[in-house]
Amino acid sequence: MKTLTLKEYKYTFDSLYTSLCLFANKYVENLETSQDLVQDVFIKIWEEKTAFKNDKAIKSYLYTAVKNQSLDYLKSAYVRTTYSLDGEDISKWETDQFFYSEVLISDTNHLLEKAITALPEKCAEIIRLSMKGMSNPEIAEELKISINTIKLQKKIAYKRLRPLLKDYFLLFAFIAELKQ
């Protein structure tokens, strides 16, 4: 068991912060609050010099701590009276099934985003807009470029993404099934 050095702590923060915020957001449905909750967890492990067995233990601890922090926030009197949450909603969020599926979705989004950032800037922008559900004409209008340019950029993106993500095909299929 060892505590994180400043360099390890910074690396862990940089590599997991965004995924953990998106994960927390599945519970609290407010990005600013999610960011605060995740920062609180990171501050706590730094201040308490929390020790870990290995890298997997760190990741597991962080996801569990963020889940617990999010649930504590939702159970707080302020949130329950302001947003009128009922116990049934919170009970669903406390289940292992919800937790594991959200961790899996968060990790998958992280893999996909990492692959997209390896694309040329214009390709990445077009793929992100497409993933948000925008059609080719909508993307062309938004970016003020031709539909043929959109199609060409998507073709380039898919050609580059395919080898980067080929090992994760079954994971993506499983995630798509979870979301239905």
Domains of the chain by range and CATH?
A: 1-91 (1.10.1740), 118-180 (1.10.10)
Burial class (CB in 10 A: 0-12, 13-18, 19+), 66: buried
DSSP β-bridge partners for residue 3: 51
Answer yes or no: pTM beyond 0.75. Answer: no
How many Cβ atoms sit within 10 Å of the Cβ of residue 162? 11
pLDDT tens per residue, range 101-118: 777 777 777 788 888 888
Residue 70 has pLDDT above 60, yes or no: yes
pLDDT tens per residue, range 112-148: 888 888 888 989 999 888 888 889 999 999 999 999 9
Predicted confidence band of residue 29 (pLDDT cuts 50, 70, 90)? confident
Q: How far apart are the first and last CA of the chain?
A: 41
Q: For the chain, how are helix, strand and coil distributed in percent, rounded to 5?
A: 85, 0, 15
Cα 78 to the center of its chain, rounded Å: 26
Amino acid identity of residue 24, one-letter, is: A
**How far apart are alpha carbons 89 and 100 in whole angstroms?**
17
Residue 176 has pLDDT above 80, yes or no: no
**How far apart are alpha carbons 155 and 144 in whole angstroms?**
19
**Which 8-state DSSP code applies to residue 51?**
E
Residue 180 has pLDDT above 60, yes or no: no
Contacts of 67 (CB under 8 A, 6+ apart): 23, 27, 99
Residue 42 has pLDDT above 90, yes or no: yes
